[in-house]
Amino acid sequence: MPLSILLPMVALGIAGIAVLLHLLGLSRRAVLADAAAARAAWLREFPGDAPARVTLCHDRSAALIETETGRGVVWGMGADTTARYLDGARLTPTKTGLRIDLPDYTAPRIHLTLDATEAAHWQDALKETA
């Protein structure tokens, strides 16, 4: 197939499908229903390290996890979730909460929506980890 046809078709196809998905409401981010859901999402990534404490964000988009081996975060990745330990994390306050920079090529940056009290709590908790 000539590139003059292939390239526009691929570009339009990708853009069209992305716009359609968004218009269908399929861009909604995952919400952690409650602490149990956050716990389950953490255990899905780290089945051998059960959370001792779960602190859910007010908008339930992420949770701070404390286990026997350290602290971590579970957060929404599109319609799903993932999790990481917070070793070596750098925290930067933002207008809407906190930005976490991780020394991890597969999860370099996490944006958290937190109110002022939550942001302070996360920062205090992570001072010991970073």
Partner 1 sequence: MTDAITFPDVVNWAVPFFIAAILAELLWIVIKGRGGRYETRDALTSLIMGAGNVASGILLGFIAYGFFMVLWEITPLDLGTSIAVIALCFVLDDLRYYWVHRFGHRIRWVWASHVNHHSSQHYNLTTALRQTWTGTFTFMMVVRAPLILLGFHPAMVLFVGGLNLIYQFWIHTEAIGRMPRWFEAVMNTPSHHRVHHGRNPRYLDCNYAGVFIIWDKMFGTFVPEMEEEKVDYGLVRNLGTFNPIRVAFHEWVGIFRDATQPGLAWRERLNYCIMPPGWSHDGSRETSTAIKARHVQAHPEAAGTPGLPPLTEHTS
| Tokens 């779960």 belong to residue | 54
Which residue number, 15 or 130, has a Cβ lying nearer to partner 1? 15
CB 83 → partner 1: shortest distance, Å? 8
Q: Is 50 in the site for partner 1 (CB under 8 A)?
A: no
Which residues does 30 contact at the CB level (< 8 Å), separation at least 6? 61, 76, 77, 78, 79, 80, 81
Binders of partner 1 in range 56-115 (CB under 8 A): 75, 77-82, 84, 102, 104-110
Which part of the chain contacts partner 1 (CB under 8 A), choosing from 8-16, 58-66, 88-96, 111-119? 8-16
Q: Strand 97-101 vs strand 90-94: parallel, antiparallel, or unpaired?
A: antiparallel
CB of 124 to partner 1, least distance (A): 23
Count CA within 13 A, CB hemisphere, residue 97. 17
Place of tokens 């579970």: 74
To partner 1, the closest distance from the beta carbon of 5 in angstroms equals 9
Site residues for partner 1 per CB under 8 A:
1, 3, 6, 9-11, 13-14, 16-18, 20-22, 24, 26-27, 44-45, 48, 75, 77-82, 84, 102, 104-110
